[in-house]
Amino acid sequence: MKFYMTPGSCSTAIHIILEELEEVFEVYIVNLPAGDHFKPDYVAINPKSTIPALVRKDGSTLTEVPAIAYWLARTHGCAKLWPEIPEDEARALETMAYVVDTIHGQGFTRIFATNTFARNPDDHQAVRQLGLDIIEKGFTILNNAIADKSYVVGDFSIADPIIFYVSFWADKTKIPMPDNLAAHYRRMLARPAVQRVLQEEGYNLATLGVAERQL
């Protein structure tokens, strides 16, 4: 398979899942600042011009973090990365949708791509503050959802790398995380697959997890 990704982005979640599955794949870096996602070669693979994209063994392309994660889990059933109980399935889906659509799409995007929400520089601070408010609320909701649990549905599943990537962003940008979420982040950092991925993506493990502050 061919995995199109950007280091340190939401694609890190899929990278972690691929490593957890010990799947064989080729990595292709998509340089977002350089506009690689709009170049004809990549648009031919993913007309959405988004990352990540996974070109499967049959040549078909799958996009969107939750969809790729779900397909990987369901096609590697022995790894047990997808819960069997309907309630846990629903909670995993709920968590993935909320992280990707709200915490990432509405929160962090306002911080990382402020210009897309307001062209007037005078409005940028207000846009970023709204993003921070959305993240803080989202982190509180996640914190309550994983209280007294090691992972989202108890056992490790594909929902956990998806929470991880926004926690990773919070660590890198020094956004506070509440207790349970910070503990989940540290737990993820201790997983060998996560460590391998972060090293492969160019991050120094010694600098991660040390900037956490509590809400």
105, 152: one domain: yes
Looking at the chain, the whole-number percentage of residues with pLDDT higher than 70 is 97
61, 43: one domain: yes
Contact 70, 17 (CB under 8 A): no
Contact 131, 105 (CB under 8 A): no
91, 185: one domain: yes
User: Strand pairing partners for 10?
Assistant: none
123, 155: one domain: yes
Of 42, 32, 38, give the one whose Cα is nearest residue 11.
Answer: 32
Measure the CA–CA gap between 106 and 136, rounded to whole angstroms: 12
Average pLDDT, the chain: 95
What is the SS3 assignment for 153? strand
Residue 43 lies in a domain: yes
Among 79, 97, 124, the domain-final residue is: 79
Among 28, 45, 79, the domain-final residue is: 79
pLDDT-based confidence at 210, cuts 50/70/90?
low
pLDDT for 193: 97
- For residue 157, pLDDT over 50 is answered with yes
Q: Which domain holds residue 164?
A: 86-190
How many folded domains does the chain comprise?
A: 2
Residue 91 lies in a domain: yes
Q: What is the pTM of this model?
A: 0.94
Q: What is the mean pLDDT of residues 36-41?
A: 96
